[in-house]
Each structure stands twice: as structure tokens, then as C-alpha cells.
Chains A and B, each alone.
Chain A
Amino acid sequence: MTRLTGVLLAIVGGLAVLSLLVGPAGFGPGQALGALVTGRGEAVTLVMREIRLPRTILAILVGASLGMSGAALQGYLRNPLAEPGLIGISSSAALAAVVALQTGLASAFALALPLSALTGAFFAVGLVFALAGPRGGSLIVILAGIAISALATALLSLTLNLSPNPFAVSETVFWLMGSLADRSFAHVGLALPFMAAGWLCLALTKRGLDALTLGEDAAGALGLPLARLRVLVIGGTALCVGAATAVAGAIGFVGLVVPHILRPFVQSRPGALLLASALGGAAIVLAADIAVRLVLPDRDLKLGVVMAFVGAPLFLHLIWKTRAALA
């Protein structure tokens, strides 16, 4: 284990404890953690084990998935602007999830919701890759992303507008901005198997992404199976982003901000960035979810809003830096 991994794990651990302690129900940290571990105090235990614990776990899972997907996409496309939220993968996953919910498919069998969302994500990644070609030129990737995002967002709004459920109509903002409020272990169980499969796929791309630093031809001549690498990146990203979006909505910028911050710490090695970004993603989503509970505790502030405050300026900065390549 490298020092960076140790430091990131410590940060994630610290934020996870903090996340367990933050909530509107006023009881002390000792009582909270005591109830979590020992089960003493019926109401406190219920709050800790059924409300705060699944929320904290889900923040870690969603953050790790989005961070790792961002690192993998950037490594594969050799483009620091690639990010699941920005290139329409998250909104496509959200659209597919909403369609599954509104058509009743999601209630037909439990896994229909994440399966549907990952199908949506899969199509979006595939489309971006097909449009961007082997070397993901910044301009093409971003333009393809804008088009896919716009279409997915419009169809998502349309689907919700047509819903016979009056509450669904106003939920566009949840699906496009994401929230972890009042998620339960049912959601953890729904997402975890898919995310784990996604992490495995992406972990297997480590060498391939390193070799791709030299371009497709050189990587191919180094014995890297490029077709397999492509399948792993598409599949892994779709699994991760699909599962995360199905339970938490589309949370943007995680996959952009985290690899960007951590790249210098791994000496820019795209393979090493995968694990670091998974941990960094978990940390940043935990922090954002703590922030939404502290800033406006009774408003269910959306996670995507907080992430956009951090991510959008950084995105502009990156565009500024790569403007020569974009022109």
C-alpha cells in the first residue's frame, strides 16, 4: 500500500465517521457510535443503523464508482475533460432509470432498476467512444457529450411529465442533480453488486491505460489487447455510473475533479490514478453529502449543486488550459 493510498483511506475513514455523526436528530457522538455498535437505545439505533449508516456507505460506494469511472475514461480517451456527468453518461443512466420506474419495469423485479440504468449508461459511453474515435479529441468528446446530455435530459423531463404520479413530475432535479437523502440498505444492496463488478472491470484496465499513454499503436505492439481494454472501460464505466445513478441520481463533476486533483500525486500514471480516484471520489462525495446536511439541513440540497460549485470552475480552468488543443 502506497503512502497516498494510506492517506486517502484515512481521509475516507474520518469523513465516514463524521457523516455518521451529522444529522438533524440531536444526540451526542458517543451515544451515536455506541448505539451503532452495541444497539443500545431503540430509537437511536434505528436512526444510526437504518438511516445514517446506509447513507454513509452509499456515499462511499457512489463516490468511488464515479471517481474511478472518471479516471478510466480520461485514461482511455487521453483527455482530462472526459467525465461521466459531462459527457452524458450519467443523464442517460438517469433517463433509463426513470423509464424503468415509470413503466413499472422496476417493480417487476428488484434488479430491473440498476440493470436498466446501466444499459442507458452503456449506450451513452458506446456512443461517445464511437463518435470520439480511438484518440478522444477534446472538442469531439465534449460536443458529443453536450448532444447526448441534452437529449437524455429532455427525454427524462418528458418521461416525468407524462407520469401519472404528481410527485414524479417535480423530480427532474433529483435525477439530474443527485441526492443521498433517506436512502436505505435496500439501495445499497441494489447498487453494490453492479458497482463491485464495475470496479473489477476498471481495475483490470490498469496496465492498458498505462500503455495507452504511448498511443494505440505502441500499446498494441506492447502486447496489450486493445479490443478487450475498450470493452472493459465501456462495461466498467456503465456498471459503475449506471448503478450509482440508479440509486442516487446523476452527480456530476466527481469524475472530473478527483482525477485532476490526484494526478500529480501518482506522477500522472493513469493506471495508478484508478485506485487513488476511487478513494478520492469516496472522500469528496462524503464531504459533499456532509456539506448538504450542514448548510441547509431541512432543504434536501442536491449533491450535484455542491459538486458543481467545486467542479464547474475547475472545468473552466481545464478548458482554458487546453484551449490550444480545442481550437
Chain B
Amino acid sequence: MSVLSLSDLSVSRGRREVVRKVSFNAEAGEFIGLLGPNGAGKTSLFRAVLGLLPHRGQSSLSSMAARDRALHAAWAPQAREIAWPIAVETLVMLGRLPHLAAGAHPSVRDHEAVADALARMELEALAKRPATGLSGGEQARALLARVLAQDTPLILADEPIAGLDPAHQISTMVAFRDLAAEGRTLIVSLHDLGLAARYCTRMIVLSDGELAADGTPDQVLTSDILARVFGIRAYVAETEHGLVVQPEAVLSPVERP
């Protein structure tokens, strides 16, 4: 059975349809990069999938009860909000809320999950620090650790590596790949085509609310799709380290197919 299945999912905001009839299934062990230019409908798609936005069509997630959904899928929104100066480990522990019975205190299992998430995001040293006192990149990693602590089969993340330094961009992508290797499913929206090509097992491209491409990176990153969806020309090559993608130039409107 698929971890997530969407059929004909559409979202309207006002009179505009921002997501149009998107269908795909996600399986265990897949690391899916959700690509698309700004305004393509990536965030709306995520929120509709989770049932946070009204939508038409089917999402296997949004039809679940709230608690079951939280045990099945974790979500890292693009807006990195931390309202109070709580300790990093307290922040990460919030990911355990769906696992806690009403009024229950965190168990050993919960503390282990938090420790594991902190380790994956290399945050052990900052565990006791107030989260609001961290740098932007550190906050982003703390929020991702919270998502990991939720310990769900499916993880959705909206631009999780935006604003991270190169080392942490790579280590975060590696952490995601490792999670996928452990059998989890990740759907992550990204703008960095190079990192996406290197680490994702599958790519889904949204263009103007519609599914424009869905397949392995080398199937998706064709010059035709790069030109048509992103309006760019890129250097794409298969190397011994994997697929390399380097955007080169913006195409003028007449050059686009």
C-alpha cells in the first residue's frame, strides 16, 4: 500500500485554481523532490495534502483523523516560527505530542526519539539553549529535528534547506536520504536543482498548479522541462558521483518552448 496517494487534487484560492488535478502515489523509501518555480503551487499542494486547506479530489492523508494523520505524517512549514524562548530540546519534544496520551509525561521512548533527532541534525550541543537565541540556520535545523522526532512514515518539508550554509544543506540532504534508506518517505520542496538531482530518488515538477513531470531525476531534468517550466538552460551531466545539474542562463521568452 502506498504511504500517500493523491488523485485529482485541486485547490482554489479565491477564484483562482492554484493546484489542478494533481495525482501521484508515494511509496516507502522514496525521497521525492517537489520542484517548481515560485508560485507553482507547491505550498498549497502540501497544505491541501495535509488537510490544512480545503480542496477537491482525494488525499489519503486529509481523510484521516487528526491524531492518526499526525502519527502518519510530519510537516515542516516554510515559515520558521518559534514564538517563545523555549529550550531546543523542549522544541524538539513538541514533535512527540501526537504520541503522548492526554496529560501523560514523556516516556523513555520519547526522550530517545528527541535525542536521535537532535543527533541527526547535529544539535546536541545546543539542546539546552533557548531556541529563539539561535541563528536562522540553527533554528531551521531545530525545527527539522522536531519533525524527525515526530517519527512518522511520511515527512513533508517545505523548502527545508533554504537559508542553510552549504555544509548544512548537504548534511540535511544526507540525513533525508538516510531516512529514506531506512524505509521512510520524504516529500521535500526544493529550489536547488543540483542538490535535488544528487540526493532525490524521484522528482515531481509542478508548473502553474499542474503536474508537469514525475520520474527519476534523469527522466525529469531534461532541457525541455528546464526550459518550459523554469525558463532556464542548464548543464546536466551524468558523472561518477551521480547526476550534476548546473543552471547556466535564463531564457528570454522567445527562446522558451
Contact = CB atoms under 8 A, between A and B. Distances in A.
The reply to whether A and B meet directly (CB within 8 Å) is: yes
Interface of A: 78, 207, 210-215, 217-218, 220-225, 263, 267-270
B85 A221 contact: no
B143 interface: yes
A222 B81 contact: no
B109 interface: no
A204 to B, nearest CB: 9
A210 B97 contact: yes
A221 B94 contact: no
A161 B103 CA distance: 50
A223 B90 contact: no
Contacts of A78: 83-84
Contacts of A223: 66-67, 69-71, 97-98
B162 interface: no
B82 A221 contact: no
A263 B85 CA distance: 9
B51 to A, nearest CB: 8
B229 to A, nearest CB: 26
B97 A214 contact: no
A217 B75 contact: yes
Nearest to B143: A214
Nearest to A225: B66
B85 A215 contact: no
Given A218-B77, A269-B90, 15 more contacts: A78-B84, A210-B94, A213-B84, A214-B91, A214-B94, A214-B146, A221-B74, A221-B75, A222-B94, A223-B70, A267-B87, A268-B84, A268-B85, A269-B86, A270-B84
A221 B76 CA distance: 9
A215 B97 contact: no
Contact of A221 (B50, B91, B102, B130): B50
B47 interface: yes
A225 B79 CA distance: 20
A76 B77 CA distance: 19
B121 interface: no
Interface in B116-160: 130, 143, 146, 150
B91 to A, nearest CB: 7
A268 B82 CA distance: 11
A264 B85 CA distance: 9
Interface residues of B, number: 32
Contacts of B85: 268
B52 interface: yes
A107 to B, nearest CB: 42
Given A214-B146, A217-B52, A217-B79, A222 B97 contact: yes
Contacts of B97: 207, 210-211, 222-224
Contacts of A225: 66
27 contacts: A78-B83, A207-B97, A210-B97, A211-B97, A213-B91, A213-B94, A214-B81, A214-B83, A214-B91, A214-B94, A215-B77, A215-B83, A217-B47, A217-B52, A217-B77, A218-B77, A220-B50, A222-B150, A223-B70, A223-B71, A223-B97, A224-B97, A267-B86, A267-B87, A268-B84, A268-B85, A269-B90
B73 interface: yes
Interface of B: 47, 50, 52, 66-67, 69-71, 73-77, 79, 81-87, 90-91, 94-95, 97-98, 102, 130, 143, 146, 150
Nearest to A80: B84
A212 B102 CA distance: 17
Contacts of B76: 218
Contacts of B83: 78, 212-215, 270
Contacts of A213: 81-84, 86, 91, 94
A169 B84 CA distance: 45
A206 to B, nearest CB: 9
B81 A224 contact: no
Contacts of B143: 214
B66 A268 contact: no
A269 B106 CA distance: 15
A313 to B, nearest CB: 22
Given A210-B94, A223-B70, A223-B98, A218 B86 contact: no
Nearest to B81: A215
A263 B73 CA distance: 32
A252 to B, nearest CB: 23
A138 B102 CA distance: 32
Nearest to A263: B84
Nearest to B75: A221
A269 B84 contact: yes
Nearest to A135: B81
Contacts of A214: 81-83, 91, 94, 143, 146
A207 B95 CA distance: 12
Nearest to B66: A223
